[in-house]
Structure 1
């Protein structure tokens, strides 16, 4: 019986959510903002035109604040202080306030529906994901996903990204807890049939994903793709307020994961960082 398994985070680990959100933000705002405000952001047909340096700077400021959730709205959602829709509207208002843009509430409600359509159907997998899953399949290593979002929503997202083969998905509504609660990691390990100590967890958030999974008894791997992701700020502490010390196991691509798993196809080495 196989004793080693792998669990993955989904957003900005398996699927390029940040890019999908940026594109969807541009497309949905063209339908929401006044023509004058859309032009201020350098928006033409839904994406930043980039012809004017100042317009492009404003767009970058706005879009990065929204997509990277610099105000921590997603953490408020995970803590139950905001609903999912409220979280997205708050992110829009906070990013807009940076540029003195005003989005009326009725427009914001129309915007959030259109943004959801564009963002959720526009996700794609990172290029290194299908080959990694192929290798796990060939090696008989079970795998699944544990995400800080609701299960059905994340399953649909995986489907849009062409990753339907990931049939084990644990979401925030599965047990009613969020990462870094140990229970959500343990449930993922249980569902793929391995003990936590024999299960690797790969995610793009160094605190919630790496430190949280290590605190739960898994083998944490911090996937640092070198790009800013979306969603949780990573300020959520690991259980008991403990902050793990020492080195994190870091990789910059899933092509480096086989070396950690001890598979025959070795494509790189993990780099420990502090």
Structure 2
């Protein structure tokens, strides 16, 4: 059956996230140095990251709310050195402002414009990107964030909620994402077709035993695959 809807992951699917996070963490650490110097002096960017990873391992529910994980990590660091924890919220806002300074992959806007004329377009993300702030909201009928929904990918309920919000059945929808486990397996378990956006040319799906419905290196390849699906 030709698809009626397509839903997207955001980070590393529509834009590269690593340089954005690196820049945001540098900005945050500079802010800490000026406003909470004991935190900045005691905890490097890497030390804060490792503490968050340890916290995530102990409390995997944070996968559904990564900004709360960052907040919890900062709170722990502030408390450890006796800094004013009232500054934590401001610190998080500093990070969030920088986290939204993304640079789209060049193929994204033309691809979204093409799809918007033919399909219902939505997004489902475990991250903290706000499409309104980024300036992409007009391309999406619906956007679901795990932090608001209360359950994160790969739980099938968040994929089913996306389909329901667009008024389609799972088998009428395609999900596109860069992560084999959270995106491809999660969407397929919910009854959707899943496209692996494999911009790096990885063959990790072979070792993982995951069989995406399609593997695309960019939006140009995605559009070719969609054209074939829509012609069926």
If the length of structure 1 is used for normalisation, what is the TM-score?
A: 0.62
Could you tell me which residue of structure 2 aligns to residue 45 of structure 1? none
Are the counterparts in 1 of residues 6 and 176 from structure 2 also a CA contact under 8 Å? yes
Q: How many residues align?
A: 214
Instruction: Report the counterpart of residue 14 of structure 1 in structure 2.
Output: 14
Task: Please give the alpha-carbon distance, in whole angstroms, between the structure 2 residues aligned to 1:247 and 1:3.
Answer: 19
Give 1:121-136 correspondences, 5 Å limit.
122-136=101-115
Change over 3 Å in CA distance of 1:173–1:192 after alignment to 2:
same
Query: For residues 132 and 247 of structure 1, what CA distance do their matches in structure 2 show?
Result: 24
> Which runs of 5 or more structure 2 residues have no equivalent in the other structure?
202-207
Shift in alpha-carbon separation, 1:193–1:74, aligned structure 2, 3 A: farther
> What CA distance in whole angstroms lies between the structure 2 residues aligned with 1:73 and 1:128?
33
Change (3 A) 1:133 1:246: closer
Q: Which residue of 2 aligns with 1:254?
A: 219
Which position in structure 1 is the counterpart of 2:181?
Answer: 207
After superposition, residues 57-76 of structure 1 pair within 5 angstroms as 62=46, 66=49, 71=54, 73=56, 76=59
* 1:271 alignment partner in structure 2: none
1:118–1:260 distance in 2 versus 1, CA, 3 Å? same
The reply on whether 1:115 has 2:95 as its aligned counterpart is: yes
Q: Which residue of 2 aligns with 1:88?
A: 70
What is the TM-score of this pair, normalised by structure 2? 0.72
Cα distance change, pair 86–175 in 1 and its aligned pair in 2 (3 A): closer
Q: Work out whether residues 7 and 143 of structure 1, in 8 Å CA contact, stay in contact via their aligned partners in 2.
A: yes
Structure 1 residues 214 and 3: CA distance shift in structure 2, 3 A:
closer
* Alpha-carbon distance between aligned partners in 2 of 1:220 and 1:20, rounded to the nearest angstrom: 26
For the aligned residues, what is the CA RMSD? 4.0
Secondary structure (helix, strand or coil) at the match of 2:84 reads: helix
For residues 39-58 of structure 1, the aligned pairs below 5 Å read none
Name the CA distance, whole Å, in 2 between partners of 1:191 and 1:83: 21
SS of the counterpart of 1:79? helix
Matched, 1:163 2:145: no
1:21 CA displacement: 1.7
Kept in 2: contact 1:15–1:158 (CA 8 A): no
Contact kept in structure 1, 2:20 and 2:102, CA below 8 Å: yes
Q: Which of the pair is proportionally richer in helix? A: 2
Gap change, CA 1:211 and 1:117, over 3 Å in 2: same
Unaligned runs of 5+ in 1: 42-57, 97-101, 228-243, 265-274
CA 1:106–1:116: 2 relative to 1, 3 Å: farther
SS at match of 2:175: strand
